[in-house]
Structure 1
Amino acid sequence: MTANQVGFAFLYLAAFLLIGKWIRVRVTWLQNLFLPSSIIGGFLALILGPQVLGKILSNFVSKDSFWVNGIFPEQVTVVWSELPGLLINVVFAALFLGATIPGLRKIWDYGGPQLAFGWTIGWGQYVIGILLSLLVLSPVFGMPPLVGALIEVAFEGGHGTAAGLAGTFKEIGFADGYDLSVGLATVGILTGVIVGIILINWAVRREKTSVIKDVKGFSDLRKQGIMEFENRDPAAKMTVRPESIEPLSLHFAIVGLAVLVGYLLLQFLIWLESVTVGNFIDIRFMTYIPLFPLAMIGGIFVQVFFNKIDNARIIDRNMINRIQGFALDILILTAIGTVSIDVIGDYMIPFILLATAGLLWNVVGFLVLAPRIIPSYWFERGIGDFGQSTGITATGLLLMRIVDPKGDTPAFEGFGYKQLVYEPFLGGGLVTALSVPLIYQFGAIPFLIFAMIMCLIGVLVGLLHFGKK
């Protein structure tokens, strides 16, 4: 693979991002679903690539023809298939860079109820998924028990986490797990928005909401994903002078440093395992751990270091967000564009069972547990956690913005504080990254018991502590 081929693959990326955005602006029903342009572009790339168009045209052309890959040169799909696993490290390394971490008391008071609810839903996805795999998917369809982790990996973690675990799935001999995870993540985003809006309409009619009393649509520009003129604030601050270093270059270097710290930490853990427990038992657990959760820890280390030495506060959170968002857009588009439809087709019934079980658990958990765990503004606060647990963080923020457009409730503040404790573990954190290799190495039963205990802790703390306030 040459540098020209990599560059050409990025030209294709640029084209599909632009086309995805143009479709979002023009197609009303996609606007009503609030689908990101990267997802739209990814679906279009999937249709025009070797998985759909290529298979159709292969019936009419020779196997050596350009058209067996759709409109894509083969090297483009090769480059695209590697990008999600690389860019997820950028996304997670940026999570805590430039962020101000408040005191534990404030996190507990404001974000505690949402943390207890989100914790219960997240661990419950493992319980539901593993029980489904042990009772149905493994004995009936011959699938490995680790598929029970895919609901949390895909719904909570999203496309990025699925991409980050691609290497792990290959290492343990279940490469199809990546395609199933990406497919489930796509279903999660779609159902998260659709079901979330249905729940909002239901709550307004039943007077469950405290702020809005009727569902008012966003402006046409908002639905098209275009910032209103009066709201066009700078995307980032210039914390350094460009004649010394371009601010974007500086922040890119800081993100890269965080990834490097994570990589060195991972290599240290692999070495430590080899010279300690590796001398006594034939288990190589650390080699299955992906880089992205360690990149997140690397970002925390880098931020702590800058807090000690940087009196000028040169790390701008908004600039970090732009780098993170750029990486996530490319990650989502390439992950969807290269997913294997054949794999999903081979596991269609297990795929439907996993998606249905995950969605039902999230809906029932939201309707039953959220009003009993979250003491005030339960719908406005809980709908954000429902959106995140089904789709991605952006889905949760979108749903909260609909029911609390002016930020009159503690929903956004509580959600943000909850993330500081939640993200390092679930939703793509350490537990999400370790769940697949843990089940592979030690079996599904021990992890199921552990997940039940964690889920029960979330329920009890939520009901007995926060629910009584």
Structure 2
Amino acid sequence: MTANVVGFSLLLLGLLLVLGKWIRVSTPILQDLFLPSSLIAGFFALLLGPEVLGRFFTIIPDKSLQVWRVLPGLMINVVFAALFIGKRLPNIKTVWKLAGPQVVMGYCISFGQYVVGLLLVIFLLTPVFDIDPTAGALIEVAFVGGHGTAAGMASTFQEIGFPEGADLALGLATVGVLGGVIIGMFLINWGIRRKKLVNEIKIQTRDEIEKKGINELDTREPAGYLSTRLESIEPLSLHFGYIAIAILLGYGILQGLVRLEEVLWGARTGVYLIRYVPLFPLAMVGGMIVQGILDKIDPYNTVDRQMINRIQGLALDVLIVSALATLSLTVIGENLIPFLLLSLVGILWTVFCFVFLAPKMLPDYWFERGIGDFGQSMGVTATGLLLMRVADPENKTPALESFGYKQILFEPFVGGGLFTAASVPLIYQFGAVPILIFTGIIAFGSLIFGLFITGKKNK
């Protein structure tokens, strides 16, 4: 894996991303499904790879595939380190006042996904199909965490002896994205017919250029602002540096925790947890530390959030393409029935939470708020934002603002946060039943709190 091989492999990824974009531009059905170009590019690369067309003749060099297998685990650190850099973090009281009900709803759905997944594993998948018990975490890892988290957890699955988990998680993440959009649009149409929405709306048809994912020339917004003069430092370089510091801080924290675990109980009991936790949730903590320091020492506001978003977006696109390009279809085929069962159970639980629990757990505008939580719980944050935009195009409800504040108390723990990263090592070390009890208590507690506390003012 020489520097030239790495460089050439990155150039191929760039080519695939452009091809993915133009495939989307020329394919109406992909536009109607709101599929991102990176997802299309990843599937195209998978088609060209060794498990499909590559069986007959080599299209993608094997050395490039080796590079791509490493990239998701690196890029996920960039994505999570950038989550809170450039954002002013409000106090917890403000966040809770605006987004408390959605935080509780989000925890109920996410920890409920662990519960249904672990129940499926304990009573069916492990005894009948001999699936590793850590598969009980796959629904939440893939649905709420998405392709990024699923790919970022690959090293963890490898270390615990269940490498198939990464491929199954990526497949489930794809099911989640497609299901989130398709089922979400169906639910919105159902809500309009049943008058569940506060404001009367019609499903807006997008014009041709918007469907293709292109911004009109005269309405284009800047990708970022130059916070520093170019003779001083390239602003993109400075923002990359802030993200790099966040990842380094996260790495330092992780190494410190690993050594602490070894001293406190690891060497004595042989029980290890931290050593299996990936870097990316600690990189997110590092990003929060960086932002906290900048709030104190940077009177010039040198961080431009738009610039951070561009770096984060690039890393996520590279991650998705490389992860899907190296997805093992053989593994999914060998575990097809468990894969389908996990997909079905995850979808049914998430739809149940939206249709039956959201009206009782969210105090007002339950549909507009809940559809965002549904989208995020099926296919990450972007899907939730997409569905809210359709359900409340003019932002006449507080759904979007509450959804944004929700992430401050939600993402650090689930959906790729600390518990998501620790869930697989926890099941590996302590077994599926204790973690089922733990996640069940949190899910049930969130449900009761939502029904009788945050949802008691339901209108």
The code of the aligned residue for 2:177 comes to: I
Which secondary structure state, in structure 2, belongs to the residue aligned with residue 391 of structure 1? helix
Matches within 5 A, 1:431-442: 431-442=419-430
Conserved in 1, the CA contact under 8 Å of 2:153 and 2:166?
yes
Which secondary structure state, in structure 1, belongs to the residue aligned with residue 66 of structure 2? helix
Moved more, 214-223 or 388-397: 214-223
Q: Determine whether 1:244 maps to 2:232.
A: yes
Which secondary structure state, in structure 1, belongs to the residue aligned with residue 238 of structure 2? helix
Q: 1-side partners of 2:380 and 2:445: how far apart?
A: 24
Aligned residues: 457
Provide the residue aligned with 2:24 in structure 1: 24
Q: 1-side partners of 2:217 and 2:352: how far apart?
A: 40
| CA positional deviation for 1:388 | 0.6
| CA positional deviation for 1:45 | 0.5
Structure 1 length normalisation: TM-score? 0.96
Q: 2-side partners of 1:75 and 1:280: how far apart?
A: 42
Residue in structure 1 matching 2:268, options 280, 283, 306: 280
Q: 1-side partners of 2:93 and 2:251: how far apart?
A: 32
Q: 1-side partners of 2:32 and 2:94: how far apart?
A: 36
Provide the residue aligned with 1:50 in structure 2: 50
| CA positional deviation for 1:212 | 3.9
Q: Which runs of 5+ in 2 are unaligned?
A: none
The code of the aligned residue for 1:410 comes to: P
Q: 2-side partners of 1:225 and 1:211: how far apart?
A: 27
| Deviations 1:131-161 (CA, angstroms, capped at 9, x unpaired) | 0000100000011111000000000101111
Q: 2-side partners of 1:428 and 1:218: how far apart?
A: 32
Conserved in 1, the CA contact under 8 Å of 2:148 and 2:316?
yes
Conserved in 1, the CA contact under 8 Å of 2:273 and 2:422?
no
Provide the residue aligned with 1:7 in structure 2: 7
CA gap of 1:397–1:76, structure 2 versus 1, over 3 A, is same
Provide the residue aligned with 2:216 in structure 1: 228
CA gap of 1:362–1:211, structure 2 versus 1, over 3 A, is same
CA gap of 1:367–1:230, structure 2 versus 1, over 3 A, is farther
Q: Determine whether 1:307 maps to 2:295.
A: yes
Which secondary structure state, in structure 2, belongs to the residue aligned with residue 234 of structure 1? coil
Conserved in 2, the CA contact under 8 Å of 1:91 and 1:324?
yes
The code of the aligned residue for 1:193 comes to: V
Provide the residue aligned with 2:285 in structure 1: 297
Matches within 5 A, 1:235-384: 235-384=223-372
Provide the residue aligned with 1:64 in structure 2: none
Residue in structure 1 matching 2:416, options 423, 428, 432: 428
Provide the residue aligned with 2:407 in structure 1: 419
The code of the aligned residue for 1:119 comes to: Y
Q: RMSD of aligned C-alpha atoms?
A: 1.0
Which secondary structure state, in structure 1, belongs to the residue aligned with residue 269 of structure 2? coil
Conserved in 2, the CA contact under 8 Å of 1:212 and 1:404?
no
Conserved in 2, the CA contact under 8 Å of 1:211 and 1:403?
no
Q: Determine whether 1:79 maps to 2:70.
A: no
Percent pairwise identity: 56
| CA positional deviation for 1:231 | 3.0
Which secondary structure state, in structure 2, belongs to the residue aligned with residue 276 of structure 1? helix
| Deviations 1:57-93 (CA, angstroms, capped at 9, x unpaired) | 1xxxxxxxxx2x4x10111111111100100000000
Residue in structure 2 matching 1:202, options 190, 201, 209: 190
Q: 2-side partners of 1:220 and 1:201: how far apart?
A: 22
The code of the aligned residue for 1:39 comes to: L
Q: 2-side partners of 1:73 and 1:196: how far apart?
A: 39
| CA positional deviation for 1:230 | 4.2
Structure 2 length normalisation: TM-score? 0.98
Provide the residue aligned with 1:169 in structure 2: 157
The code of the aligned residue for 1:371 comes to: P
Provide the residue aligned with 1:134 in structure 2: 122
CA gap of 1:229–1:180, structure 2 versus 1, over 3 A, is same
Conserved in 1, the CA contact under 8 Å of 2:201 and 2:391?
no
